[in-house]
């Protein structure tokens, strides 16, 4: 008799393997996020500079990264770079590079929009109170920018976590791949396993992203 699909989850190390797969995804996205935030801050400031060179360079970079599907970028980093330069990047490294490049571009654009949304009058009134340029930034501009930025950054983080599931296509064994392996291995004995395994994966993603978006909502409310 065919067993219930749910029991597949508790056989052997299946649940642990799924968690391990989730960790592959989370690790890539967390490293990429941690690199993207400081780089994006710099990139965003670069975008607000008046110099036409920095404007054009940053614009081209942003548009290039945005227009390219992340999958294409991954293929370029994983297959293309090996072909072109003979560098043999591991799946892990190429994924981190691609997601950092992407995160930096997106983060930079968030920083840029947060910076230019501070009205000129805020600078004027700070300076009229005798503040130096550094004080104006430190006490008036940056705190307001941060308040606008934190919820946006957290949203970007959840987007990055979800998008890293693409790494399965450059041969990495992340949570979806592990799930597929478990399903395939039990196809004949437990045909309903697919529902349960994918259900658990859904739940795992939810558990990873939900607290983060709750945090975003809370901060948004507090810092209207």
Partner 1 sequence: MEDKILLEISGLVKRFGSETVLNGIDLSVHKGEVVVVLGPSGCGKSTLLRCMNGLEPPTDGTVLLDGKAVTADGKKITELRQKIGMVFQSYDLFPHKSIMDNITLAPIKVQKRPKREVEQDAQRLLKRVGLWEKRKAYPRELSGGQKQRAAIIRALCMNPELMLFDEVTAALDPEMVKEVLDVILELAESGMTMVIVTHEMQFARAVADRIIFLDNGKIVENSKPDEFFTNPKSQRAKDFLKTFSFEKRKNS
Taking the complex as a whole, how short is the minimal distance between the CB of residue 12 and partner 1, in angstroms?
A: 54
Residue 87 in contact with partner 1, rule: CB under 8 A: no
Taking the complex as a whole, how short is the minimal distance between the CB of residue 132 and partner 1, in angstroms?
A: 5
Tokens 């997106």 correspond to what residue?
A: 106
Taking the complex as a whole, how short is the minimal distance between the CB of residue 135 and partner 1, in angstroms?
A: 6
The CA distance from 85 to 39, in Å, is: 25
User: If you ran DSSP here, which 8-state letter would residue 22 be given?
Assistant: H
Stretch that binds partner 1, among 2-10, 84-92, 114-122, 163-171 (CB under 8 A): 114-122
Angle formed by the axes of helices 14-48 and 91-116, nearest 10°: 40
What's the angle, vertex CA 66, arms to CA 114 and CA 47, rounded to 5? Answer: 40
What's the angle, vertex CA 160, arms to CA 157 and CA 161, rounded to 5? Answer: 90
Residue 89 in contact with partner 1, rule: CB under 8 A: no
Residue 128 in contact with partner 1, rule: CB under 8 A: yes
- Tokens read off for 115: 């910076």
Residue 122 in contact with partner 1, rule: CB under 8 A: yes
Residues 13, 83, 221, 224: which binds partner 1 (CB under 8 A)? 224
Identify the H or E element spanning 142.
helix 142-163
Taking the complex as a whole, how short is the minimal distance between the CB of residue 113 and partner 1, in angstroms?
A: 17
Residue 117 in contact with partner 1, rule: CB under 8 A: no
The CA distance from 163 to 88, in Å, is: 23
Tell me the number of residues near partner 1 by CB under 8 A: 20
**Applying CB under 8 A, which residues contact partner 1?**
119, 121-122, 124-132, 135, 139-140, 143-144, 147, 223-224
């Amino acid at each position: 008799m065919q067993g219930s699909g749910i029991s597949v989850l508790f056989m052997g190390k299946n649940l642990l393997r799924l968690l391990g797969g989730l960790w592959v995804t989370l690790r890539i996205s967390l490293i990429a996020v941690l690199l993207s935030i400081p780089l994006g801050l710099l990139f965003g400031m670069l975008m607000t500079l008046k110099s036409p060179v920095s404007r054009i360079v940053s614009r081209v970079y942003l548009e290039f990264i945005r227009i390219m599907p992340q999958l294409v970028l991954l293929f370029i980093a994983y297959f293309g770079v090996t072909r072109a330069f003979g560098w043999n990047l591991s799946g892990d490294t190429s994924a981190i590079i691609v997601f950092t490049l992407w995160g930096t571009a997106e983060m930079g654009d968030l920083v840029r929009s947060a910076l230019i949304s501070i009205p000129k009058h805020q600078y004027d009134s700070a300076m009229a109170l005798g503040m130096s340029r550094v004080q104006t930034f430190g006490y008036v501009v940056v705190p307001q920018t941060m308040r606008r930025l934190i919820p946006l950054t957290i949203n970007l983080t959840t987007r990055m976590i979800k998008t890293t599931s693409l790494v399965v296509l450059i041969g990495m064994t992340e949570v979806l791949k592990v799930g597929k392996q478990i399903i395939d291995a039990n196809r004949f004995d437990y045909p309903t396993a697919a529902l349960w395994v994918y259900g658990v994966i859904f739940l795992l993603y939810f558990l990873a992203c939900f607290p983060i978006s709750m945090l975003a909502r809370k901060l948004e409310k507090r810092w209207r």
